[in-house]
Amino acid sequence: MKNSGKTKSKSPAIIPRAAHNVSRDDISKSALKVLYRLHKSGYQAFLVGGCVRDALLGLHPKDFDVATNATPDEVRALFGNCRLIGRRFRLAHVRFGREVIEVATFRAAANHADDDVAHDDEGRIIRDNVYGTIEEDVWRRDFTCNALYYTIAGFSIWDYTGGIGDIDRRRLVLIGNPGSRLREDPVRMLRAVRFAAKLGFTIDKSVADAIHDNVHLLSNVPAARLFDEFLKLFQAGFAERTFELLREYGLFAEIFPATDQELNEDESFRAFVRAALRNTDRRVAAGKSVTPMFLLGVFLWAPTKRMAAIRRSEEKMSESQSLSVAAYELVAQQQKRISLPRRFTGPMREMLALQPRFMSTHGKRAMNLLEHRHFRAAYDFLVLRAEVGEVDADLAKFWTSVQEKPGAERADSFEIHGEPRSKRRRRRRRKRRPKADQPS
Ligand code: ATP
Ligand code: MG
């Protein structure tokens, strides 16, 4: 079912400056510069998408996207600090120090341009490389709240799709026919959940129904595209709520099938995952760094343990080895859904495989764990396991306190009372001497 385009209004509702709360103070200086220069050079230029939406909601937009009728080459001619990126559809990146303003030429909507948009058998867009006007650009966007255009010519907001009303009602509504918009690009299902969690919006019933009908299409999305989406879902500060919604809509099962199965069967694993997500959100709120490998490890923990037990029953190996082998297999399975860069999966496997080593608190080998390059992550993981009662709280306390102790006391904690290394060596060497050499 395609939209005919007949019902699409050609003229926007224009919300004048006096009737909205987006002020120039909400907009980065760099974005303003880009808007002014394009405007002065005779082009149309608007802020569009998340930045307008967030500013209207009183949130602080983190990045600014500009839409214009200037072609990428025309944009480049205007800005020295400009680079064109993207092959299929070229975008201009205008750089100001560390800030990049993305400038996109208006594009025609997927089902609006007759010839230059191609869909695959399931309705997914496979080609949409055609420039258009603002009246066309608006219809290819996903949600009405993401399709508002702010112009510095009069500081008004242009609304073609009823986005302002939906923002007021805090509703997430897809532009056009929800089913066909989700089939065109199934990632929009994840975006719906992400925006609902971040903005505290309700997913409109029409969208919710369409998600229910099309959940399975997520498995057609190239794994490479989902890694970025994974980061946005779980590292934007609303991971716990996002996770709940993903589960509610059956979307989580599509992107983490093995994890989802364990979640259904194991209440303590559910608590563990929740605790990790809550932690991640707390860290983001406090401006601390978060690494995707930690959450990946959390998601794959229960399936990895299960697989490790199977491997141990088949072959003689240590618990650590079995966890490492199992994590390797689960990562390989997971890669079919989401491409996971090796720089994350390597450390993640180590983090999981280190867990059994925390059980031992005596001797040199135990103490050496403190020097392991992934100790910190593995320790955080242990604390989380203790939080949900998977390991003894006292064990986690031991590893917490021991880190703060100076060298000598530390050795005491591990009950190491041996002689220094050099002496030991000497003694061993003496022992190895042939008997004949020794005085009788
Ligand atoms: P945020 O940056 O907070 O994640 P955003 O709305 O800015 O939110 P982006 O991914 O930066 O999201 O995209 C910018 C704009 O591009 C969106 O607001 C939307 O108008 C459009 N857009 C992005 N991805 C899609 C998509 N998959 N389908 C349709 N429109 C999209
Ligand atoms: Mg954005």
Show the domain range for 49. Answer: 11-169
Question: Measured in whole angstroms, how far is the alpha carbon of residue 162 from the centre of its chain?
Answer: 29
* Number of structural domains found in the chain: 1
What is the chain's alpha carbon radius of gyration, rounded to the nearest angstrom? 28
Ligand 1 atom index nearest CA of 61: 3
Whether 188 contacts 222, CB under 8 Å: no
CB 144 less than 6 A from any atom of ligand 1: no
Q: Is there an atom of ligand 1 within 6 Å of 185 CB? A: yes
In this predicted structure, what is the pLDDT of residue 433? 46
The answer to whether residue 322 sits within a structural domain is: no
What is the CA(181)–ligand 1 centre distance, in A?
14
Q: Is 420 helix (H, G, I), strand (E, B) or coil?
A: coil
Report if residue 370 sits inside a domain: no
Which DSSP helix (H) or strand (E) runs through 172?
Answer: strand 171-172
Taking the centre of ligand 2 as the mean of its atom positions, its distance from the CA of residue 75, in whole angstroms, is: 20
Is the pTM for the entire model greater than 0.85? Answer: yes
Query: Whose C-alpha lies nearest to ligand 1, atom 8?
Result: 50
Residue 135 falls inside a structural domain:
yes
DSSP character string of 226-268: HHHHHHHHHSSS-HHHHHHHHHHTTHHHHH-HHHHHHHHH-HH
State residue 436's pLDDT score. 43
Catalytic residues: 63, 65, 142
In a domain, 158, yes or no: yes
Ligand 1 neighbour 163 (Cβ under 6 A): no
For ligand 1, whether the C-beta of 262 sits within 6 Å is no
- The residue nearest atom 11 of ligand 1, judged by CA position, is 50
158 CA to centre of ligand 1 in angstroms: 17
Cβ-contact 79, 98 below 8 angstroms: no
* 381: in domain: no
Cα(146) to ligand 1 centroid in Å equals 7
**What residue's CA is closest to ligand 1, atom 28?**
142
Q: How is residue 189 written in tokens?
A: 């299902």
Decide: 50 in ligand 1 pocket, CB within 6 A. yes
Contacts of 412 (CB under 8 A, 6+ apart): none
Asked if the structure places residue 294 within a domain, the reply is: no
Q: Is the CB of 161 under 6 A from ligand 1?
A: no
Of all atoms in ligand 1, which is nearest to the CA of residue 187? 27
Q: Which of 146, 172, 185, 228 for a ligand 1 pocket mutation test, highest count of atoms within 8 Å of Cβ?
A: 146
Q: Tell whether 306 is covered by a domain.
A: no
The closest residue, in CA terms, to atom 5 on ligand 1 is 50
CATH of the domain at 159: 3.30.460.10
Q: How far apart are CA 90 and CA 194, in angstroms?
A: 26
Cα atoms found within 13 Å of the Cα of residue 416, Cβ hemisphere only: 18
SS3 276: helix
Contact 61, 50 (CB under 8 A): yes
Residue 229 lies in a domain: no
Residue listed under structure tokens 């967030």: 54
C-alpha pair distances (Å), 374 with each of 231, 295, 397: 21, 15, 19
The C-alpha atoms of residue 82 and residue 244 are separated, in whole angstroms, by 41
Supply the residue whose CA is at minimum distance from atom 6 of ligand 1.
Answer: 50
H/E stretch holding 135 reads helix 134-137
Digit-by-digit pLDDT tens for the chain (440 residues) are 334 343 565 799 999 999 999 999 999 999 999 999 999 999 999 999 999 999 999 998 989 999 999 999 999 999 999 999 987 788 999 999 999 999 999 998 655 444 445 666 676 665 556 889 999 999 999 999 999 999 999 999 999 999 999 999 999 999 999 999 999 999 999 999 999 999 999 999 999 999 999 999 999 999 999 999 999 999 999 999 999 999 999 999 999 999 999 999 999 999 999 999 999 999 999 999 999 999 999 999 999 999 999 999 999 999 999 999 999 999 999 999 999 999 999 999 999 999 999 999 998 899 899 999 999 999 999 999 999 999 999 999 999 999 998 878 888 888 887 655 554 455 555 545 444 444 43
